[in-house]
A and B are shown apart, each in its own frame.
Chain A
Amino acid sequence: MIITIALRELRSMFLSPLAWTVLAVVQIVLAWTFLTQLDYFFALQKELATMQNAPGVTDLVAAPLLEVASIVLLMVTPLLTMRLISEERRNGTLSLLLSAPLSMTEIVLGKYLGIVLFLLIFVLMVALMPLSLLMGTQLDLGKLAAGVLGLSLLLSAFAAAGLLLSSLTTNPVIAAISSFGLLLLLWIVGRNSADAGDAFTYISILNHYVPMLRGIIDTADVAYFVLFIVTFLLLTIRQMDAQRLQI
């Protein structure tokens, strides 16, 4: 049942021009980044040859690409999640789900899975760019896989936050702005924190994502993302249940 809702969600995204536009714009921006990084790598090649333990193409092309991708998608994900629940509420289509024999958990998970599947298409398209280099050179596939896992977890977390904020309002624009604000805040919150052990450093999404780009998969980081996702999904389910009482 969750799958049924997710697939409809995914389908309807591709039936709207928004999804195609977003996919295209993100792809163009990231392709440009990829090319400039590649140029940069070629320019440095002579010096790299003389260095010991020189960073490879994965470090100089793939990791920066994934980092830029995360920032672009930080801005784009709220646009994709904004209509998930708010628009259904506004158009009255939510009552189709509410009067069907479905639990609130199934509805929320279905919607969430739909958007995550869509975001994984982004991840796939981003990953294809460095993978294309396999035609001419060797990559550190382990490091790349860690980065791709990191990006997937990051986007899943973005989606969970966006879903909650979409359930709070009937206006998609408000949902988009507030989820963008929340994500940006969580992104920058640990930035200038002096000591590494304080709470802000731990809350910051960035601090849990960057190590993965370097190929370090720490269970604490993975746990952070899992907890983040579970928390926001639970809050969404509770919120949806509460709204049947409030409105």
Chain B
Amino acid sequence: MSEHMLIRANNLSRYYGGHCAVDDISFELRAGDILGFLGPNGAGKSTTMQMLSGNLAPNAGEIAIDGIDLFDRPGAAKAALGYLPETPPLYKEMSVDEYLVYCAKLHRLNKSERKDAVELAKTRCGLTTSGKRLIGNLSKGFQQRVGIAQAIVHSPRVIILDEPTVGLDPIQIREIRELMVELGKTHGIILSTHILPEIEAVCNRVQIIHEGRLVYSAGLDELLRKQLSGQYELTLASPPPMNDLGAMKGFEHVEALGDNDFIVHTDIGAQALARRAVENGWGLSRLTPHERTLEQIFVDLTLGDKTGGAVHEDERA
């Protein structure tokens, strides 16, 4: 393990009474990673994040943050951590400035660092004009920003954000995403969400968690590469018989989606495929790469065991 891990979680399990919320999850976060945690409601995302932030003790497993064990030296480990829970931990009766200064104090920033840290966090979260306002009087979106500001005010090495863009308008969402990409350059970020485009826009790694188990884990570039791995969807106005199509040279596998729609697995490339379709007079009207989007993977993994199983096989191949 040459690379320095910001978070290392080993075999985490957590039970609520008899119900197993998180079941033997292990993963790592490297510096510069933005890891997206994806899962349906109740899958165990928030529980995992609460454990990572020290709010909840796991029943089994270990967590090390920035190389420091969270249970042996919680103080030192938490100093490297910024956490935004599902409901932002805001004191409604305080003003934004007071609150952020308080957060900076809790993280033991000294007086000279504090002012700059609060200003920087406010600038980053677009709160420069709301410093004097009471948190309770802010709109939900602005409260969310204060929550994010709270998580980054002490510039922690690891930032954990539990559904950071909930309740924001589309423009704010874009701003927050830009902020996360920017922060991701210097910090490690874990982000939980059930908004798929958000993961695609921001993260470079994705993990899908379902019923407390980690069912998918991959880099996003890996995911994109797989999409281009020689599967094409064809729409043909006058297709040849299915058998002929399957027997074509260079076609590994052909699936029929309907009378005129096919998925062809081939390594001859799109150009050659198009030429062949034209030469044979199939009446080619559409040729697109067959993409397995994150959404498809997500749906496959979380809906029904049959498709889920098939995807697992596919993933290993």
Residue positions of A touching B, CB distance < 8 A: 1, 4-5, 8, 12, 15-16, 91-103, 244-245, 247
Contacts and interface: CB of A to CB of B under 8 A. Distances in A.
Contacts of A96: 89, 103, 106, 150
Nearest to A110: B106
Interface stretch (B75-83, B214-222, B259-267): B75-83
Contact of B91 (A1, A12, A99, A100): A12
Interface stretch (B48-56, B169-177, B269-277): B48-56
B290 interface: no
Nearest to B88: A92
Contact of A244 (B57, B82, B85): B57
A217 B216 CA distance: 69
Interface string B53-65: 1111101000000
B83 to A, nearest CB: 4
Is chain A's binding surface mostly helix, strand, loop or mixed?
A: helix
Contact of B55 (A8, A99, A102): A99
Nearest 3 pairs of A and B residues by beta carbon = A96-B89, A92-B87, A100-B106
B87 A101 contact: no
A93 B93 CA distance: 12
Nearest to A98: B55
27 contacts: A1-B106, A1-B108, A8-B94, A8-B102, A12-B93, A16-B93, A91-B89, A92-B85, A92-B86, A92-B88, A93-B90, A95-B53, A95-B83, A96-B103, A96-B106, A97-B106, A98-B53, A98-B55, A99-B55, A99-B81, A100-B107, A101-B107, A101-B108, A102-B106, A244-B54, A244-B55, A247-B16
Q: Which of B57, B59, B82 has the most CB of A within 10 A?
A: B57
Nearest to A4: B105
A101 B78 contact: yes
B129 to A, nearest CB: 22
B240 interface: no
A95 B55 contact: yes
A97 B83 CA distance: 11
Given A12-B93, A95-B55, A100 B87 contact: no
B283 interface: no
B309 interface: no
- B-side interface size class: 20 to 34
A197 B74 CA distance: 47
Contacts of B76: 101
Q: Which of A12, A16, A96, A98 has the most CB of B within 10 A?
A: A96
Contact of A95 (B89, B102, B108): B89
Nearest to A97: B106
B51 to A, nearest CB: 9
Given A1-B106, A91-B87, A100-B103, 20 more contacts: A5-B106, A8-B94, A8-B102, A12-B93, A16-B93, A91-B89, A95-B83, A95-B85, A95-B89, A96-B89, A98-B55, A99-B78, A99-B82, A100-B107, A101-B75, A101-B106, A102-B75, A102-B106, A244-B56, A245-B57
A17 B87 CA distance: 25
Nearest to A16: B93
Nearest to B78: A101
Contacts of A94: 89
B81 A4 contact: no
Contacts of B50: 95
Contacts of A12: 91, 93-94
Contacts of A244: 54-57
Contacts of B56: 244, 247
Contacts of A15: 93-94
A12 B92 CA distance: 10
A101 B79 contact: yes
A111 to B, nearest CB: 13
Contact of A98 (B54, B79, B94): B54
